[in-house]
Structures are given as structure tokens and as C-alpha cells.
Amino acid sequence: MRDYLIAPSILSADFARLGEEVKAALDADADVVHFDVMDNHYVPNLTVGPLVCEALRKHGIDAPIDVHLMVRPVDRLVHDFAAAGATFISFHPEASEHVDRTIGLIRDLGCRPGLALNPATPLEALDYTLDKLDLVLVMSVNPGFGGQAFIDSSLQKVSAIRARIDALGATSAREIRLEVDGGVKPANIGEIARAGADMFVAGSAIFHSDDYPRTIAEMRNNIAAAVR
């Protein structure tokens, strides 16, 4: 896989043309499809479920699908999304009664587990879990909606998690991706990369732009300039 992954969030796509929108974003050199699942319970919004994930697979989407579960309870939907073709499945620790069990379930079902940390979730959520994860998803907005402003304190959090992942790196054979989700734009993606992120969710910045390839190229250029 590439060093830096761009993950367009379908939340800001035109849902009436979802298959074409996802193909267009991937053709524009995106790496991963970020798939936001909201239940009007854990977060105050309602989006899409496993049927839509499966429909994207049947439509020929073979890129990794990064399912971000903003739902409570978590475990039953893990089964459904694994069967629907998810690659990564992330969940919020506050939404699961047994975080370690949910991580194990995702892994056992053949998917790559991720833990999603809200802006106010302390890093202790990674104690005893980090070495079992393939992904840490740092929310840089409060979950529930696209188009919100990036919360600057997320940068410190990203740096702190980067240090923990790197410290583990010497002993861990697996890669652990550090993803930032919320308010990511071409203008701030460089400093987010410099803080240590290597996977970037962008919903409105990509799907509300009028030229997906240009926007994604600008993001990649700004990352490259920042980490040089």
C-alpha cells in the first residue's frame, strides 16, 4: 500500500449516483472508500447500512472499503459489514460494552479492526488495544455530520498517537494506520501529515469540489511538501 492514503467519505457524495461517484473518486486517484454508518442513536444522524456496502461491491468497487461505525450497539453490525465486503471496520470505544471482544470479532471475521477516538476521548482508549488494531481513527470533528470545521487540538493528539504507534513499531510486524477524519482540506492536510497521520478522510473537500482529480492531486502535493 502507499505511504499516504486518501479516503473520500461518501457522506458528501451524491447518493442518487453513489456508484458513479465512488468510481469517479477512485479514478481521481483516491485509495480507499470511507463509509460512514450513523444510527440516529450513537450520533444524531442516519445514513446507510450493509446493503449499500454490498451494492458498491456488486457495482465493481474493489478498492478497500473503510467502514466507520457510529452506531450502538456495535457487534451485530460487524457481522453484517464483514459479509457485505468491508475491509476496515472502525468503531467508537464508548459504543461497545466489550471493546477487546469487538476488536477480536472484527479480526476473526477477516476484516481490519480500527478504533475511532472522538475529540474528547482520552488516549487511554489505546491502552491494551493499540497492538491489536490495524487503524486508529482520530476524529477531528464531533461525529455525525460532514462539512464541520477541523478542531485544532486534534493535531497534538495525532502526534501523541504517532509516537505510540512508532514505539510499538519495533516489535509489531503489522502496520497500524493513523487516520484523521473531519474538516480535512487541501489547505490543512500538510500539517496533519506532519503531525503523523498517514490516512486522510475527506468528504466535502472532495465531493463538493468541481474537479476530483485536481483536489486529490493538490492534497497529495501538499502532503509531499509538508513531510519532505
Beta strands 33-38; 5-8: pairing state: unpaired
Q: How many Å is the Cα radius of gyration of the chain?
A: 16
* C-alpha count within 13 angstroms, C-beta hemisphere, residue 17: 8
Which of these ranges, 8-16, 52-60, 99-107, 163-171, lies near ligand DX5 under the rule CB under 6 A?
8-16
Supply 196's cell numbers.
503523523
Identify any residues that bridge with 66 across adjacent strands, giving them in sequence order.
34, 88
202 contact, one of ligand DX5, Zn ion, none, CB 5-8 Å limit per kind: ligand DX5
Which of these ranges, 29-37, 80-88, 205-213, 214-222, lies near Zn ion under the rule CB under 5 A?
29-37
Supply 29's cell numbers.
486517484
Query: What distance, in Å, lies between the first and last C-alpha atoms of the chain?
Result: 19
Per-residue binding letters, 172-211, with Zn ion (x by CB under 5 A): ---------x------------------------------
Contact call for residue 203 and ligand DX5 (CB under 6 A):
yes
Per-residue binding letters, 62-81, with Zn ion (x by CB under 5 A): ------x-------------
7-28 core/surface letters (b: 16 or more CB in 10 A; e: else): bbbbbbbeeeebeebbbbbbeb
Distance CA 221, CA 26 (A): 17
Distance CA 201, CA 35 (A): 10
Considering only 50, 113, 182, 186, the residue that binds ligand DX5 (CB under 6 A) is 182
Phi, psi of 117 (to 5 degrees): -110, 120
Distance CA 202, CA 222 (A): 14
Q: Does 166 participate in catalysis according to the annotation?
A: no
Considering only 13, 21, 25, 34, the residue that binds ligand DX5 (CB under 6 A) is 34
Supply 108's cell numbers.
476473526
Shortest Cβ 145–ligand DX5 spacing (Å): 6
Which of these ranges, 87-95, 97-105, 118-126, 201-209, lies near ligand DX5 under the rule CB under 6 A?
201-209
Which residue's CB is nearer to ligand DX5, number 146 or number 186?
Answer: 146
Residue with cell 461517484: 21
Which residue's CB is nearer to ligand DX5, number 102 or number 188?
Answer: 188
Contact call for residue 146 and ligand DX5 (CB under 6 A):
yes
Contact call for residue 202 and ligand DX5 (CB under 6 A):
yes
Q: Does 211 participate in catalysis according to the annotation?
A: no
Site of interaction with ligand DX5 (CB under 6 A): 9, 11-12, 34, 36, 68, 141, 143-148, 181-184, 201-205
Just list the catalytic residues.
Answer: 36, 181
Site of interaction with Zn ion (CB under 5 A): 36, 68, 181
